[in-house]
Amino acid sequence: MASRRIDTKIKESYSAVKYVQVEGLALMKIAKHCHEECASDVIIAQGALLGLVVEDRLEITNCFAFPKSVDESINDEKYQLDMMKSLRQVNVDHYHVGWYQSSDVGNFLSLPLLESQFHYQTSIEESVVLIFDAPKTNRGFLSLSAYRLTPQALTMFKENDFLPDTLKSLKVGYDHLLVKVPVVIKNSTLTNILLSELSFKIKVEEGSEHLDIGTATVLEGQLRHLMDRVDDLNQEAIKFNRYQQAVVRQSTEKHRYLQKRALENQARAAKDEPPLPEEDITKIFRALPVPPRLPPMLMATQVDAYAEEIAKFSTQSLAKLYMTKAMNTNN
């Protein structure tokens, strides 16, 4: 149990960053890259975040995209080092502080993402992963979230043990894998002045876009993803139930075997015969492999994320629907 205690150093690094400050330039580059890649055949867009740590905030001032995985001629590590070296030569922040990835609501929650973030946080203590939801942003709702692994999740990946007993001892649940870090978007004063001038020049329709209830396609997609994840989670539950039934069946067979040997030894003792030779019971009844609990835990996290987004969209859509109905009645 001592090896499964959360390291105090992990706790200190975990609480080092209170919020993430993203420059407008870095956000625009992330949005451009994610929109371009999502429009092509590439499912996920990824890149590196550059910046620095100031007191209790992580400032992200620049970024660059990772090379496409289909291009095998490029060495990823060499490419990143060359990019940071080039940025340093032009006096741009070149310190690696994390990475970003595109997503569609909760589909970013996967084992590769957790493993990548584990390697980042073990090498760069303050690193974060920024998740940019391109489909939701296309609908007019900017979606940018920052995540870090919890101390329990860091200890779990450090031990590389995902069995139920380990997760129980570390108190790791589907809601204790990632922690959401507040994100603040910062623009320069000149950029704010430009945006203010543009807001006066752009003609806005008479409030119709605020009552747009055309979110049916978004809700439909999220409900489909939610049903898929619930089905997958149900299959994992069926597998675990089968494992429990197999354990009970094996325990019953072991008990019958031991009773049979005890009766045979009693009969042999009554005949003044030597008892049966000792046998290793573990070789006869081998321990059944315990199914890993991390995949169903990730599925439960995805279900929770989809349900939360559906609740938000439903609340907004119902409010707009009632407002539109009231306006039509008055007219």
Question: For the domain that residue 105 is a member of, what is the CATH number?
Answer: 3.40.140.10
Same domain, 49 and 178: yes
46 found inside a domain: yes
DSSP secondary structure code for residue 98 in this structure: E
242 found inside a domain: yes
33 found inside a domain: yes
Same domain, 50 and 189: yes
Same domain, 202 and 239: no
User: How far is residue 129's CA from residue 113's CA, in Å, rounded to a whole number?
Assistant: 9
Query: Going by DSSP bridges, is the β-strand pair 46-54/96-103 parallel, antiparallel, or unpaired?
Result: antiparallel
4 found inside a domain: no
**CB contact at 8 A, 61 and 26:** yes
Same domain, 95 and 207: yes
Same domain, 202 and 262: no
Same domain, 166 and 61: yes
pLDDT by residue for the chain (331 residues), tens digit each?
Answer: 334 444 545 454 455 788 999 998 899 999 988 888 876 655 688 899 998 888 888 999 888 888 876 556 666 677 777 877 787 777 777 788 899 998 877 778 888 889 889 998 988 888 899 999 887 787 777 888 999 998 888 888 888 878 777 788 888 887 888 888 999 998 888 888 888 888 777 665 544 455 555 566 677 778 888 898 899 889 988 988 998 999 899 889 888 888 888 888 888 888 878 887 877 777 788 888 888 888 888 888 888 888 888 887 777 777 767 777 776 776 5
Encoded amino acid at 219, one letter: L
The reported pLDDT for the residue numbered 211 is 55
13 found inside a domain: no
Cα radius of gyration (the chain) = 28
Same domain, 185 and 93: yes
Instruction: List b or e across 15-46, with b for residues whose CB sees 16 or more CB atoms inside 10 angstroms.
Output: eebeebbbbeebbebbbebbbebbeeeeebbb
Indicate the helix (H) or strand (E) that contains 101: strand 96-103
Q: Which of 164, 179, 212 finishes a domain?
A: 212
For residue range 82-93, what is the model confidence (pLDDT) as tens digits? 877 787 777 777
126 found inside a domain: yes
In which region does residue 55 sit, left (phi positive, over 0), alpha (psi from -120 to 50) or beta (all else)?
left
Same domain, 160 and 67: yes
Q: Which of 212, 243, 266 finishes a domain?
A: 212
Same domain, 192 and 136: yes
Same domain, 316 and 206: no
Look at residues 61, 57, 124 and name the one whose alpha carbon lies nearest to residue 97.
Answer: 124
- Domain tally for the chain? 2
243 found inside a domain: yes
pTM more than 0.85: no
The reported pLDDT for the residue numbered 308 is 83
225 found inside a domain: no
Q: Which of 182, 212, 242 finishes a domain?
A: 212
Contacts for 319-325: CB closer than 8 Å, 24+ residues apart: 320/210, 320/211, 320/212, 320/213, 321/213, 323/211, 324/211, 324/213
Same domain, 186 and 101: yes
The reported pLDDT for the residue numbered 295 is 85
Look at residues 280, 286, 288 and name the one whose alpha carbon lies nearest to residue 258.
Answer: 280
The full DSSP string for 22-78 is: EEHHHHHHHHHHHHHHHHSS-S--EEEEEEEEETTEEEEEEEEEPPPTT-TTS-HHH
Same domain, 135 and 56: yes
CB-CB neighbours of 161 under 10 Å: 16
- 170 lies in which domain range? 19-212
